[in-house]
Amino acid sequence: MIDLILRRGKLVSFSTENTVTVTVDIAVKDGKITAISPNFKESAAQEIDLEGKLISPPFVESHIHLDSVLTAGEPRWNESGTLFEGIQIWGDRKREISMEDVKNRALTMLKQQAAQGILFVRTHADVSEPQLIALQALLELRDEVKDWMTVQVVAFPQDGIYSDLQNEMLLEKALQMGADAVGGIPHYELTRESGVRSVQKVFELAEKYNRLIDIHCDEIDDEQSRFLEVVAAEAIRTKMGSRVTASHTTAFGSYNNAYAYKLIGFLQRAQINFIANPLINITLQGRADTYPKRRGVTRVKELWQNGLNVSFGHDCVQDPWYSLGTGSMLDVAHMGVHICHMTGREEVDACYQMVTANGAKTLDIEDNYGVEVGKPASFIVLDANDSYDAIRTRIKPRYVISQGKIIASTIPAATDFSLTGVTPNCSFVEKSVSFSKVL
């Protein structure tokens, strides 16, 4: 007996040159997709008529700091709005962290993300804290939520690998404890030379422990910040490109065109992945500018046009670096469309790919990702015509199916214009989200 059939869903195939749309039934058994067909004859224990709604692979959050989520204002607000004041505030807040504190906030966030159709999350865990509490908490949570959410943890040395004697040891210990990826922050090391050495150290550790790499790289407006070329050189040397990610790279938006042109060629040789965080970097960067003010984003359009893999991340939700946000990847894509000038028809679709399939490539989880027979039944249903429409409306998924179970459903807001009166006569029905017993 089949467990679940979703009937009359609209499936869009992005994998070919031409976008193809088909109306299909999807059958689910034992957590896997067992059939996708236009008119599936069998019946199931549970059946839902999707009435033509869009079926999409789930959103991938390729870059978030779950250890700091939901701490905005603690112990104080970021008044300068800069990355560096954010690091100081977090430095004070992290003296107070406990396992319970991190796990509670991160779990709240993961549920909020699941409700919004995210089923794969790469989180950074600050490992420049001597007890590695954030790391331990996120590693435990990774295992506890694995039946409905896939979490990857990056060991991220927020304060620099060489800024304090013990930080190098803590980073290696984090890998021994089971972090999935090694991080770095070369632009925040004390000198250019330490920055270069830190990138080399990250590659050395990744090779030693066979881990992925995700480096916070050149997250500054300084056009002299050129660690991306070092990451590219190491990726070319080690042939690790597809397992390497350069996050943020906002300085790339400030490099002169002659240098940027040369660099793009090196990046194509390196074949590394890129993550831009449009919501956060539009606010963190440009703070030292008068006018015109920079956008604080890497060259997303040029990277994409040159065939490099780019995804978008949210980066923060209500923390010292960004006090707003709900975790929605459609908010992220929406901001990306704006600040990267990706408003062309194909470009909007590309931005949807940047919060779905491209993120899956970066996380190296493609074997378990996508709406295909034989793959885990992990996908979402959106009341939207297509991906352009989804970004435009930023609608919450009607259903979120993870590993064969409907884990969240959202009843859309309904506006009532039927009341008569003098002033605007509408009332709003609150959105309601219900979680099944799985969570």
Footprint of ligand 17E (CB under 6 A):
65, 83, 158, 185, 216, 219, 280, 315-316, 321
280 touches, from ligand 17E, Fe ion, none (C-beta below 5 to 8 Å by class): ligand 17E
Binding range to Fe ion, per CB under 5 A, among 30-38, 101-109, 134-142, 308-316: 308-316
316 touches, from ligand 17E, Fe ion, none (C-beta below 5 to 8 Å by class): ligand 17E
Minimum Å distance from CB 315 to Fe ion? 5
Q: What is the dihedral of CA 268, 269, 271, 277, to 10 degrees?
A: -50
**Residue pointed to by tokens 């916070």:** 216
- 350 phi/psi in degrees, rounded to 5: -60, -35
Minimum Å distance from CB 63 to Fe ion? 6
Residue (189 or 315) nearer to Fe ion, CB: 315
**β-bridge partners, 122:** 152
321 touches, from Fe ion, ligand 17E, none (C-beta below 5 to 8 Å by class): ligand 17E
Count Cβ atoms below 10 Å from residue 174 Cβ, excluding itself.
Answer: 29
Minimum Å distance from CB 334 to ligand 17E? 19
Minimum Å distance from CB 319 to Fe ion? 10
219 touches, from Fe ion, ligand 17E, none (C-beta below 5 to 8 Å by class): ligand 17E
> Distance between CA atoms of 397 and 407, rounded to whole angstroms?
11
Of 170, 305, 314, nearest to 247 by C-alpha is 314
Active-site annotation holds for 172: no
Cβ neighbours of residue 400 closer than 8 Å, sequence gap 6 or more = 58, 114, 115, 117, 119, 380, 381, 406, 407, 408, 409
185 touches, from ligand 17E, Fe ion, none (C-beta below 5 to 8 Å by class): ligand 17E
Pairing of strands 405-411, 432-435: antiparallel
Residue (309 or 318) nearer to ligand 17E, CB: 318
67 touches, from ligand 17E, Fe ion, none (C-beta below 5 to 8 Å by class): none
User: Which string of DSSP letters, residue by residue, matches 86-129?
Assistant: HHHHHHHHGGG--HHHHHHHHHHHHHHHHHTTEEEEEEEEE--S
Distance of CA 348 to the CA centre of its chain: 17
Residue (6 or 272) nearer to Fe ion, CB: 272
Residue (58 or 186) nearer to ligand 17E, CB: 186
Minimum Å distance from CB 26 to ligand 17E? 37
Residue (103 or 216) nearer to ligand 17E, CB: 216
175 touches, from ligand 17E, Fe ion, none (C-beta below 5 to 8 Å by class): none
Residue (219 or 234) nearer to ligand 17E, CB: 219
Binding range to Fe ion, per CB under 5 A, among 40-48, 49-57, 312-320, 407-415: 312-320
Minimum Å distance from CB 373 to ligand 17E? 39
Question: Which position among 129, 219, 229, 234 bears the catalytic label?
Answer: 219
CB 382 within 8 A of CB 53: yes
Binding range to Fe ion, per CB under 5 A, among 174-182, 315-323, 384-392, 414-422: 315-323
Residue (160 or 397) nearer to ligand 17E, CB: 160
> Distance between CA atoms of 352 and 281, rounded to whole angstroms?
19
> Distance between CA atoms of 19 and 44, rounded to whole angstroms?
30
**β-bridge partners, 4:** 28, 46
Cβ neighbours of residue 258 closer than 8 Å, sequence gap 6 or more = none
Minimum Å distance from CB 350 to ligand 17E? 23
> Distance between CA atoms of 322 and 315, rounded to whole angstroms?
9
* Residues belonging to the active site: 219
Binding-site ranges for Fe ion (CB under 5 A): 315
